[in-house]
Amino acid sequence: MNKIVWSKHSVLVIAIVATWLTTYFGYITSFNMKIDNIMQEFILFLNPLSFLLFVYGIALFIKSTKRRNFYIMTVSVLTSIIMFSNAVFYRFFNDFITLPVLFQTSNFGDLSSSVTANLHVMDIFFFTDVLIIYLAIRFMPKDNPIGQQNKNGRKLYFVMTAAVMMVNLGLAEMERPQLLTRSFDRELLVKNIGTYNYHIYDLFIQSKSHAQRALADGSELVEVSNYINASYAAPDPEMFGVAEGRNIIAISLESLQSFVINEKMDGHVITPFLNELTKDPDTFYFSDFYHNTGLGKTSDSEFLLENSLYPRNGSAVFFTHSGNTYQSMAAKLGENDYYTNVMHANNRSFWNRDIMYGALGIDKFYDIESYTVGEGEAVNWGMKDIPFFDQSVELMKEMPQPFYSRLITLTNHHPFDLDEEDKLIPEYTSNSSTLNKYFQAVRYMDEAVKILFEDLKESGLYDNSIIVMYGDHYGISENHNKAMGMYQDKEITPFDSAKLQKVPLYIHIPGYGKGKTIDEVSGQIDLKPTILHLMGLETKEDMTLGSDILSPDHEPFTIFRDGRFVTDKNVYTQEVCYDSETGEETDMVECEPFIERSVTELNYSDMIINGDLLRFKEEQEQSTEINSKDKE
């Protein structure tokens, strides 16, 4: 029998094939990416190859077999770590890692429980290629019958690599035109150019965004201002100033989605107090209200509330642009003699809040050091909601009035673990432990809100306050759609997933008596102008992309950070236009007028943030003020 003669670069070939297949099988087993046709499947299969050919191909320049094999092993370990990290991240965020997220190291310790809950035994599969390559290096014969690789051979190799890349990009462009210039959806990028190339593209985008501030000169403000002015919705004269002079208590309801409101789980009422509040004559309840957050989650919802600008795509503004100039709601209220503060029983550096709150003009941050966490009162990374509310009201009693207090809750946070005494209803039973525990955590939150209202009444603060409560972001990601389908007794489609991004919004004005349920489409982007108009403060000169929901001119339209959008007639998601009433696909012509507008509006928001454009507006206002004084 003839002895098998192995090429000098057989290990290289094995490494490329092993990592290619491991990556592809990782795609189809760990990421919930929708594949509509055979072409998309082929692109998904092909897209890791060009990067792997290039990065492993560098080994062709390494003459020493030992060093070459070490390099190949190092590459295989790094690519496996990239895929493994993205898989764990995807299970929690339903998204892919971006570079700014990797530098949010101050959050990692606090997120450890959520990360641990998303680890799977089968994650070891991502390192299959490492094992295969190690065995190839260890046990393949060391015969090297082929001499030193010549330059022409290397050129041919990299020409082939470039050809594979061009074929990949060509097919991707056919499937998704202008993919790299118009897409806010990282899943689309990964499906078409691959995880590894996506991270290179992300590096380019992040570098570009950081360069924008240095290159900005303020001329972009004119274009953005014209767009904002054209979209302005004047306040309803009957609503303008109805809460003037009152304290503002804004409560961020952690991970609360609207699908639990006025609903039951296995016969158990999930949110009894919040249900009553939807019918309270002093309450405006917004039943078709959506979160607009991205990877910054709760910090993004804070940013939206304060600025009426969209968060950045793929990162948390609180980290990347905490040095910017902003025209926040807190700053505007502060100019009108409000004592502005945030109350959150967590580490002050989490989400970079200690720095960002200064940029937002917030007077005081009551962090975990402002609270006493008694035995059995700790949860997740801070304090349970009930004792948090109790102590927060005590702190409010000492504040100068009027005050603007934002309270950020914690208990209803992934992985939704509760102590036994806090489980007021049983667990749900499905294939998702996350969804099963979610209902219990929501029920506890509802009880905490009820106690907050009681505390406010007992303290004497209730009657002279306006209470705004909103869900900050989703709690159940699309990775749990199978279990969600079991709960809702239907298959969850992309249309349903978009509609599940509804979060509750309550505006409670004690003594008002004319509250009602408002079913107009709106989003967190609209909170700032809505609240300020209720307080009798005009927003016409503000750089806000949202509009007053209570205004007769408010348009029923809201944009998600990933480019999806909802109108009163349609839902646009995964490049399909759906009818809002039936949930069925409809003619794309109905969504087309809003597609371009969504891209434009998100780009304008990014321009304001990346270029720090509001610094120029502030300079203009200061210059005008100085000139006015000189004339006097």
Question: Which sign, positive or negative, has the C-alpha torsion 306, 309, 313, 317?
Answer: negative
CA 100 from chain centre, in angstroms, equals 13
Give Cβ neighbours of residue 505 (< 8 Å, ≥ 6 apart).
Answer: 285, 286, 289, 468, 469, 470, 471, 522, 527
DSSP per-residue string spanning 345-400: SS-TTGGGHHHHHHHTT-SEEE-GGGS---TT-EETTEE-HHHHHHHHHHHHHTS-
Give Cβ neighbours of residue 365 (< 8 Å, ≥ 6 apart).
Answer: 341, 342, 344, 348, 353, 354, 357
Encoded tokens for 505: 């919004």
Cross-strand pairs, 488 = none
Catalytic residue among 298, 411, 530, 573: 298
For residue 586, indicate whether it is catalytic.
no
Is residue 356 within 8 Å of residue 318, measured between CB atoms?
yes
Is residue 292 within 8 Å of residue 527, measured between CB atoms?
no
Give Cβ neighbours of residue 627 (< 8 Å, ≥ 6 apart).
Answer: none
Alpha-carbon distance 357 to 364, whole Å?
8
Encoded tokens for 510: 């004690």
DSSP state of 445: H
Of 554, 503, 511, 565, the C-alpha closest to 529 is: 554
Helices (H), 58-127: 65-93, 99-102, 105-108, 112-117
Give, rounded to a whole angstrom, the gap between the first and last alpha carbons of the chain: 105
Alpha-carbon distance 26 to 42, whole Å?
15
DSSP state of 472: -
**3-state SS class at 567:** strand
How are beta strands 557-559 and 565-567 bridged, if at all?
antiparallel
Give Cβ neighbours of residue 249 (< 8 Å, ≥ 6 apart).
Answer: 396, 405, 407, 456, 461, 465, 466, 467, 468
- Residues with active-site annotation: 298
